Structure 1
Amino acid sequence: MTATHVELGDGEQLMSSESEVVFRQVTQHMFDGDLIATTAFGPSTADRDMPSYSRSTVVTAQDSRDWHTQNAKSPSLGVWGITVGEVIDSGRYVVDDSQCSLDDGQKRAPGHCFVDFRELSKPQKRELRAQLYFYAIARGELPTMATTPDGQLFA
């Protein structure tokens, strides 16, 4: 599953620091019963094959969870991470798109980046999701606390 050609948009940059962790927010629809589904680490239809992650060099796991819960449709129930090197070892790459322009009314998480699933076949997408899942599960959930709604002292 090696990329032979990488096409970057304006403002996009390949991430190359193999030790950098990228954070994935896990929401209720990413669970299969009590367990996280392998699909949690790949794209949904809305992602257009570019599932969202956040860079650990820009934001903490807690801050990324808080931002997600305050801005996304579904609250984050936890944060899991994979390294850029693990994505590279899986035959793909991570793209930082945090400097790309946004349309009016759009928001982007601080340190936003994505694992590039574009141009992969369905079996390749399943394989990549599974590989990323196993890396993340082996690392374990990253320590964070449930986000406290604005104006409240306790969640």
Structure 2
Amino acid sequence: MPGGVELSEGEQLMADAAELAYRQITPKMYADDGRIASHVFGPSTSDNGKPSYSRSSVVTAQEARDWHSANANTPSDGVWAVSVGEVIEAQRYVIDDSNAPLPADGVRAPGHCFVDFRGLSRNQKKDLRGKLLMHALNRGEIPTEGLLEDGQLFA
């Protein structure tokens, strides 16, 4: 594998540089000043170096947001994205794990993929998160609508 990346059963490297990887942004991912916090595009402690994204070739930004809002602990507040090419330019990979064996909870978003942060030092993670954040901010938020509450007719 290039650069020593290891793929597990059902995983594959994403190679289309133009494909977007959608990241769900929840209300707790904003800094006090209202901007997206710098850590958002990287892994949390529970991600094992594999922060969740969704493939634009499999789901629309709206479908990804709807699935997240219906299934995650915190609904999505918006969708931002980085391209596979931007990740590769930063010397990392996007890995599609949608065909990997299901996790213990048996749930995985359609088109699930992750940016590979495994094996990076703290400073390397911080640098990569910053690069991905800048690409996402330059692209701007991907237009989507929040889920309607039961009985609500309009957003």
Question: Which TM class, normalised by the smaller chain length?
Answer: over 0.9
One-letter code aligned to 2:16: S
Q: After TM superposition, give the deviation of residue 153 of structure 1 in Å.
A: 3.0
Segments of structure 2 that go 5 or more residues without pairing to the other structure are none
CA distance in 2, matches of 1:94, 1:116: 6
Question: Are residues 150 and 113 of structure 1, via their aligned partners in 2, closer, same or farther at CA, if it must alter by over 3 Å?
Answer: farther
Match of 1:4 in 2: 3
CA distance in 2, matches of 1:51, 1:103: 14
Q: After TM superposition, give the deviation of residue 103 of structure 1 in Å.
A: 4.2
Match of 1:99 in 2: 99
Question: Are residues 27 and 56 of structure 1, via their aligned partners in 2, closer, same or farther at CA, if it must alter by over 3 Å?
Answer: same
Question: Are residues 134 and 152 of structure 1, via their aligned partners in 2, closer, same or farther at CA, if it must alter by over 3 Å?
Answer: same
Match of 2:140 in 1: 140
**1:36 pairs with 2:65:** no
CA distance in 2, matches of 1:94, 1:104: 22
Calculate the TM-score normalised by the size of structure 2. Answer: 0.94
Task: Name the SS for the 2:148 alignment partner.
Answer: coil
**1:23 pairs with 2:22:** yes
CA distance in 1, matches of 2:130, 2:104: 35
Query: Structure 1 stretches (4+) deviating beyond 4 angstroms?
Result: none
Q: After TM superposition, give the deviation of residue 147 of structure 1 in Å.
A: 1.2
**1:47 pairs with 2:47:** yes
CA distance in 2, matches of 1:83, 1:151: 37
The sequence identity of aligned pairs, in percent, is 56
* Count of residue correspondences: 153
Aligned Cα root-mean-square deviation (Å): 1.3
Segments of structure 1 that go 5 or more residues without pairing to the other structure are none
